[in-house]
Structure formats: C-alpha cells, structure tokens
C-alpha cells in the first residue's frame, strides 16, 4: 500500500519505465496492471481497452487473479462496471456488496462465502476526453476498503496506462497504414503496368495512323518513277521494233523498201532512256528499302548499335513527299558514332518531328537537320522556321491526344509516343520555340546505356 508521496513517485517512475519498454503487448500491460494492483494492496484487477475495430466494445486485455477465460472477453461500452466507467469517464468506488447482474444469486453467495470482493475501484482510461478503456481492482472482504483518497491517487497512475495503451493503438494504426500503403503501392504497380501496355498500344496505333498517312505519299512517290519507266519502256519497245525491221531487211528477209531508221538518234536516245529508266527503278528500290527499314517489324525490341544520321536520312526519304512542297531541307549533318538503340522506333521519332516541322510551316519554309555528339551523348536536331509555339502550348505538346491540328491531320500522339521512345533510350527531347520564330526539337541520347537504371525504370 502506498502511504507516502515518495512511494507514489517511485511507483510512477517504475510504471514509466515499464511503459517505455512497452509496445502495448498484453504481456507488458499485464506487468503494469500487476504493478498497480500490488501497490494498492488489492487482490485482483482487470484492464479493459476499447476495441480499435469496434469502439462500442471493451476487451479485457489483462487480469490479475481473475477466473480463467475472463481475459480476452469483451464488455459492451456502458455495460457492467468497466463499461459504465469507460463510458462516463468518471471513476467509481464501490464499497460493500458487488452486484453482478449476470451472476446467479446462488453463485454470488457462494463467492462471497469464499471471500468475495468487498471493495473495488474502477478508473476510466482516457486521453484528452478520448476513451481508451478502464482499469479496476478489488480488495477482498478481509482487507480494509478503498477510500476516496485511493481513487484520487490512482488517477495519475492510470493515465500512464492509458498513454501506453494509446501508444500501442497508434503503433497498430501506423502498422495498418504501412500495410495500406504497401497495398496502394502494389495497386500502383499494377496500374503502371496497365498504363505501360496502354502506351504500347498507343504507340502501335500512332504508328498505324502515321503509316496510313505515309502510304498516300509513298504511293505518289513511287507512282512518279514507275510512270516514266513505263513510258520509257513503251518508247524502247518502238525503237526495238524499228531496229528489228532494219536487221530483218539486212538479212534479206524484209519486204518492200528498206525501213527508215535514224540510227544516230537511236544511238543517242537509247542509252539516255536506259539510264533514266534505271534511275527510276533505283528510286523505287530506294523507297522500298527505306520503307522496309522504317517499318521493320521488330516487335522483339532488339537493341542494336546504329548511326542515327542514317536513320534520319532514310526517314527523310520516306516523308519527302509530305515535306517537299512546303520546305527546303537543309542538312548540316555530322556523322555520328553508333549508339545502342531501337532503330525502327527512333525512325518513328524522326518521322514525327519531320512531319510536325513541315506541318508547322504555313506556306514555304526551311527545315534544318543538324547532328552532333560529345563524349557522353549524341544528338539530332530537327528545326523549322514555321509557326512556333507559345510557352503554354509547349507545356502540353507531349500529352497524349493533344493536337492543334484539324481532324484527320493530327492524332496528337506523335510527340507523346516520341517522348516515351526517347525515354526508353534514357535520352531526352529538348525544345526551343517561340511563336512566329519556328521550333527546334533536339533528341539527345546517351552513347552508353546505364543498364541498372534501365532495369529499375522499365
């Protein structure tokens, strides 16, 4: 029993020590309860705390000298002494007979005979009006009953217990929050994977759209040489006919007069026709080759070492038709060291930049292509002297589906797709632009891929 203030103080200190070591586990709560019960010279006691998940219930988490099975039981808030005290927030001192509504009268009597509790105190556990639980203790009939003094003295002690329980709750909540966060994290990871697959689909659809756009241009481009190859062949057929007539006559197989044939003219025209025809076929061949390079289906995403200037030039050939009526193309290209890349995908980036540049030119203008490198990077620049962009516009152009172009002309995907392709290369797209002054897009790629960074990013 505590008689002097110093004893109270040392008890508080001891409890404080216990509470510091405590993580709210029932073992340490049990230790605290036992400490308090003993220091009050009580025989039994119980500690009940509000159930975190069911705040209308108290759960008995620790007990001293209680019948087996009591620890772990729940009590409704407002019911029984523990429930009433926890609810009202006022301590209760009970001297005399303890009435337990749920006990049969006979059993009650029996207990009393064995030395049933005669005096009890129950304190509420609360922190700043927040209910935490209740703590009760009992003295048996042969001990002196509790007094109001005891009630007052216990108040500060149970506050400590309340703090420990509350701390434990906070700890559990924190654990819950960490759990929720890691769940969220997992959800985000899934969403990210979904986004990535959506983006892959977007890239594919942008590619299809731009290939559709290109097809018309390429058809035109091929139609032209095929047209004159065809007409040259017609002319040649005529010449061959004439020459065969002469040969037949010379062999004495001809009928009538010797056929008229301007051999001098044929001698000059035939090689010209032949070389023009060959040129036309070469052009078709080149276009087909470029088209093959451009749209090669490497779904396997195979990394290669390639020269970006080559890719830019073959892409330029492909989109030449879109561009040539709008812009003169000035090339200030330095050969570049080969860099690890996905050439087909980079060609798509170049095509987007070239087509955008041409489309930004309202009437007639110039597209300037530059390249360069340093120890760590290589870069390709596509510049135009077209309409240029306001700062606000520049902030939006990489958004998927953002376009200022009429339906059918723009998908709004070109730059967002380009951006993700360049990011996949651990590179970046830099932009300089001002309204009315034109725009310059620069694609900068590292000469060496950082494998680790790539793995964690993808």
Ligand X SMILES: Nc1ncnc2c1ncn2[C@@H]1O[C@H](COP(=O)(O)OP(=O)(O)O)[C@@H](O)[C@H]1O
Q: Which is nearer to Mg ion, 339 or 349 (CB)?
A: 349
User: Of ligand X, Mg ion, none, which one does residue 48 interact with (CB within 5 to 8 Å by kind)?
Assistant: none
Q: Enumerate the β-bridge partners of residue 57.
A: 76
Q: Please give the Cα distance from 83 to 56 (Å, whole number).
A: 9
In the numeric block, which tokens belong to residue 67? 């019948």
Q: Which is nearer to Mg ion, 80 or 414 (CB)?
A: 414
Q: Which is nearer to ligand X, 396 or 447 (CB)?
A: 396
Q: Which is nearer to ligand X, 46 or 439 (CB)?
A: 439
Tell the smallest beta-carbon distance from residue 356 to ligand X (Å).
Answer: 3
Q: What's the count of helices (H) and strands (E) in the chain, helices before strands?
A: 11, 13
Helix axes of 148-250 and 414-424: crossing angle, nearest 10 degrees: 100
User: Of ligand X, Mg ion, none, which one does residue 411 interact with (CB within 5 to 8 Å by kind)?
Assistant: ligand X
Q: Find the radius of gyration of the CA atoms of the chain.
A: 45
User: Of Mg ion, ligand X, none, which one does residue 34 interact with (CB within 5 to 8 Å by kind)?
Assistant: none
Tell the smallest beta-carbon distance from residue 206 to Mg ion (Å).
Answer: 9
Q: Please list every residue from 401 through 430 that binds Mg ion, using CB under 5 A.
A: 414
Q: Which is nearer to Mg ion, 344 or 352 (CB)?
A: 352
Candidates 340, 344, 345, 335; CA nearest to 305 is: 340
Tell the smallest beta-carbon distance from residue 410 to Mg ion (Å).
Answer: 6
User: Of Mg ion, ligand X, none, which one does residue 412 interact with (CB within 5 to 8 Å by kind)?
Assistant: ligand X
Which spans of this chain sit near ligand X (rule: CB under 6 A)?
352, 356-357, 360, 384, 386-387, 389, 397, 402-405, 410-416, 439
DSSP character at residue 53: S
Q: 3-state class of 454 per DSSP?
A: helix
Whether the Cβ atoms of residue 51 and residue 58 lie closer than 8 Å to each other = yes
Q: Which is nearer to ligand X, 317 or 439 (CB)?
A: 439
Tell the smallest beta-carbon distance from residue 211 to Mg ion (Å).
Answer: 13
* Residue count of the chain: 458
User: Of Mg ion, ligand X, none, which one does residue 360 interact with (CB within 5 to 8 Å by kind)?
Assistant: ligand X
Alpha-carbon distances, residue 244 vs 235, 249, 255, 259, 270 (angstroms):
14, 9, 13, 10, 14
Whether the Cβ atoms of residue 81 and residue 91 lie closer than 8 Å to each other = no
Tell the smallest beta-carbon distance from residue 314 to Mg ion (Å).
Answer: 19
Q: Please list every residue from 378 through 397 that binds Mg ion, using CB under 5 A.
A: none
Which residues have CB under 8 Å from 267's CB, separation 6+?
none
Q: Enumerate the β-bridge partners of residue 139.
A: 119
Q: Please give the Cα distance from 315 to 225 (Å, whole number).
A: 19
Q: Which is nearer to ligand X, 303 or 398 (CB)?
A: 398
Total site size for Mg ion, rule CB under 5 A: 2
Candidates 301, 427, 322; CA nearest to 376 is: 427
Q: Which is nearer to ligand X, 81 or 357 (CB)?
A: 357
Q: Which is nearer to ligand X, 63 or 386 (CB)?
A: 386
User: Of Mg ion, ligand X, none, which one does residue 402 interact with (CB within 5 to 8 Å by kind)?
Assistant: ligand X
Residue that is written with structure tokens 């310059």 in the block = 440
User: Of ligand X, Mg ion, none, which one does residue 371 interact with (CB within 5 to 8 Å by kind)?
Assistant: none
Tell the smallest beta-carbon distance from residue 201 to ligand X (Å).
Answer: 16
User: Of Mg ion, ligand X, none, which one does residue 32 interact with (CB within 5 to 8 Å by kind)?
Assistant: none
User: Of ligand X, Mg ion, none, which one does residue 387 interact with (CB within 5 to 8 Å by kind)?
Assistant: ligand X
Tell the smallest beta-carbon distance from residue 414 to Mg ion (Å).
Answer: 3
Tell the smallest beta-carbon distance from residue 439 to ligand X (Å).
Answer: 4
Tell the smallest beta-carbon distance from residue 323 to Mg ion (Å).
Answer: 13
Whether the Cβ atoms of residue 384 and residue 322 lie closer than 8 Å to each other = no
Whether the Cβ atoms of residue 308 and residue 336 lie closer than 8 Å to each other = yes
Which residues have CB under 8 Å from 96's CB, separation 6+?
118, 119
Residue 206 burial by CB count (10 A; 0-12/13-18/19+): exposed, middle or buried?
Answer: buried
Out of 277, 344, 345, 356, point to the residue binding Mg ion (CB under 5 A). 356
User: Of ligand X, Mg ion, none, which one does residue 365 interact with (CB within 5 to 8 Å by kind)?
Assistant: none
Whether the Cβ atoms of residue 85 and residue 136 lie closer than 8 Å to each other = yes
Tell the smallest beta-carbon distance from residue 443 to ligand X (Å).
Answer: 13
Q: Which is nearer to ligand X, 339 or 349 (CB)?
A: 349
Interface residues toward Mg ion, by CB under 5 A: 356, 414
């Amino acid at each position: 029993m505590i008689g002097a203030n110093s004893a109270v103080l040392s008890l508080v200190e001891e409890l404080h020590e216990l509470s510091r070591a405590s993580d709210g586990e029932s073992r340490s709560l049990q230790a605290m309860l036992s400490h308090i019960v003993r220091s009050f010279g009580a025989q039994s006691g119980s500690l009940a705390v509000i159930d975190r998940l069911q705040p209308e219930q108290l759960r008995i988490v620790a007990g001293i000298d209680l019948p087996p099975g009591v620890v772990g039981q729940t009590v409704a808030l407002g019911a029984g002494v523990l429930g009433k005290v926890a609810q009202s927030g006022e301590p209760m001192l009970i001297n005399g007979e303890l009435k337990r509504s749920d006990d049969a009268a006979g059993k009650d009597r029996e207990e009393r005979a064995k030395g049933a509790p005669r005096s009890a105190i129950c304190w509420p556990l609360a922190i700043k009006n927040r209910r935490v639980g209740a703590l009760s203790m009992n003295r048996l009939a042969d001990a002196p009953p509790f007094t109001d003094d005891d009630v007052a003295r216990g108040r500060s002690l149970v506050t400590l217990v309340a703090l420990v329980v509350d701390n434990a709750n906070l700890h559990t909540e924190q654990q819950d929050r960490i759990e929720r966060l890691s769940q969220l994290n997992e959800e985000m990871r899934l969403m990210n994977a979904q986004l990535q697959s959506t983006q892959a689909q977007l890239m594919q659809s942008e590619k299809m759209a731009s290939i559709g756009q290109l097809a018309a241009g390429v058809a035109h481009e091929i139609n032209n040489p095929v047209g004159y190859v065809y007409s040259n062949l017609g002319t040649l057929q005529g010449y061959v006919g004439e020459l065969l007539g002469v040969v037949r006559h010379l062999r004495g197989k001809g009928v009538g007069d010797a056929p008229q044939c301007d051999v001098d003219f044929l001698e000059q025209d035939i090689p010209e026709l032949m070389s023009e025809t060959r040129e036309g076929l070469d052009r078709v061949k080149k276009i087909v080759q470029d088209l093959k390079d451009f749209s090669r289906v490497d779904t396997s995403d195979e990394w290669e070492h390639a020269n970006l200037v080559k890719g830019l030039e073959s892409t330029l050939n492909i989109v030449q038709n879109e561009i040539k009526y709008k812009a003169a193309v000035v090339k200030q290209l330095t050969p570049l060291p080969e860099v690890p890349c996905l050439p087909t995908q980079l060609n798509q980036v170049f095509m987007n930049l070239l087509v955008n540049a041409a489309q930004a030119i309202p009437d007639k203008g110039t597209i300037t292509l530059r390249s360069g490198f340093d120890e760590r990077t290589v870069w390709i620049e596509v510049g135009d002297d077209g309409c240029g962009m306001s700062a606000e516009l520049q902030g939006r152009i990489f958004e998927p589906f953002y376009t200022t172009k009429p339906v059918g002309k723009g998908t709004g995907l070109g730059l967002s797709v380009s951006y993700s392709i360049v990011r996949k290369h651990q590179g970046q797209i830099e932009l300089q632009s001002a309204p009315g002054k034109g725009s310059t897009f620069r694609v900068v790629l590292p000469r060496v891929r950082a494998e680790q960074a790539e793995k964690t990013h993808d």
